[in-house]
Amino acid sequence: MRRLPWLLLPAVALAADLASKAWILGTLREGESLPVIKGFFYLTLGFNRGAIFGSLTWMPEMARFAVFGLAGLAALIYFGRLFLANGTSTLDRVALGLILGGALGNGIDRLVRGAVVDFLDFVFGTWHYWTFNLADSFILVGAILYGLRLLLAPKAEHRPTEN
């Protein structure tokens, strides 16, 4: 496997995430909202100090930092090994590259700001979805691709070989 071209995928996902967050931080203040499609899609700056959907915010800041740091490092090692392993399929590599790029983007946020920058804000009628970012989108799309492939492919086909 030629690794350098594949390393561009998580790098591009990371760059897109960081650039979008830099733009929104320079455009809006926390809680401020900019309508893109009125009544449906807004750019609303928020900071998630917890985990998914704002969970674990009750934990002390240092405990959250330790939990998120250890979980993030474990995920990067696990998914990174799969991503770089010989024999990993193209679809798996795309899925894992998106997951890695997104995880790095949110991880950098936590290290730099102590919170993840969220700004993509959708409303469906009376239901308001959680605000999220590009990194979350990359992680979700990667997880769906990887999960579908695991469910649909025979087990022997998705065992990468060790380097």
Query: The whole model's pTM is what?
Result: 0.83
Known catalytic residue at 136: yes
Strand, helix or coil for residue 37? strand
Domain boundaries, the chain: 3-22+60-155
Tens digit of pLDDT for each residue in 73-95? Answer: 888 888 889 888 888 899 999 99
> Choosing from 17, 92, 118, 121, which is the catalytic residue?
118
Residue 122, CA distances (Å) to 25, 119, 131 in order: 19, 10, 7
* Catalytic residue chosen out of the listed positions 17, 109, 121, 136: 136
The reply to whether 118 belongs to the active site is yes
What are the pLDDT digits (tens) for 105-129?
Answer: 998 998 899 889 999 999 998 999 8
- Joined together, the tokens standing for residue 79 give 């998914």
